[in-house]
Amino acid sequence: MSSTTPSPAASARRGRRPGAPDTRAAILESARSAFAGKGFAGTTIRGVAAAAGVDAALVHHYFGTKDDLFLAAMELPVDPRQVIGPALAGGPDGAGERLLRAFLSLWDDPEISPSLVGVVRSALQPGGERLMTQGFVPVVLMPAGAALGIDRPDLRMPLVISQVAGLILARYLIGLEPIASMPADTLVATYAPVIQHYLTGDLGAGLREG
């Protein structure tokens, strides 16, 4: 790392303005403002680019698709799609346990957990719900349901999230014992049957009327 070849970041800092870190930051700031104010559906790459004073192609170059830009704007330390991808690949059987393990591999990581807690706290403030309903849901949750190949993903995935969100609150935001200190294996054994029930079980009236 001490070679004379400049790192990409160093090159970017020396390059023309569109390649400079402050341009990247300006795009992210513009994206955050747009997603917060207009929601995911109301935000366009073109609008984000205009507000940041750059070309739309540069936004695509730096951040990829609108989905990618949204996740980058949330400042997640990881891409949740990559983390849950392998858990989804195995199909519905046992997906409850696999998804819980993938989830805990992120949330129990002390390097990652504080950022995630910050995102959740933001999403729970007035107006922050759009982060969830117009961002996380169409970008992560619904594609996950489709990848699993379950019936009624439009109902089942929100039910899954309603339990996972409560687990997040209890374990990471509130520190409710014994959930907060429970070993990961115990947590998986306790919650996997419920997650699996929401994914593939008989939901009774919820399924018929939902």
User: Which residue, 25 or 189, has its beta carbon nearer to a second copy?
Assistant: 189
Identify which range of 22-30, 52-60, 97-105, 162-170 contacts a second copy by CB under 8 A: 162-170
Q: CA distances (Å), 90 to each of 164, 188, 189, 206, in order?
A: 20, 17, 19, 26
- For residue 29, give the nearest of 48, 55, 44, 45 by alpha carbon: 48
**Is 175 a binder of a second copy (CB under 8 A)?**
yes
Whether 71 and 166 have beta carbons less than 8 Å apart is answered as: no
Of 167, 196, 199, 200, the one binding a second copy (CB under 8 A) is: 167
Neighbours of 172 (CB within 10 A): 18
Token pair of 189, please? 């054994």
Considering the rule CB under 8 A, would residue 186 count as an interface residue with a second copy? yes
Q: Is 185 in the site for a second copy (CB under 8 A)?
A: yes
For residues 122-141, which are near a second copy according to CB under 8 A?
123-126, 129, 132-133, 137
Smallest gap from Cβ 162 to a second copy, in A, equals 4
Contact of 75 with 60, CB cutoff 8 Å: no
Q: Which amino acid is at 126?
A: P
User: Which residues are at the interface with a second copy (CB under 8 A)?
Assistant: 121, 123-126, 129, 132-133, 137, 154-155, 158-159, 161-167, 169-170, 173-179, 182-183, 185-187, 189-190, 193-194, 197, 203-206, 209-210
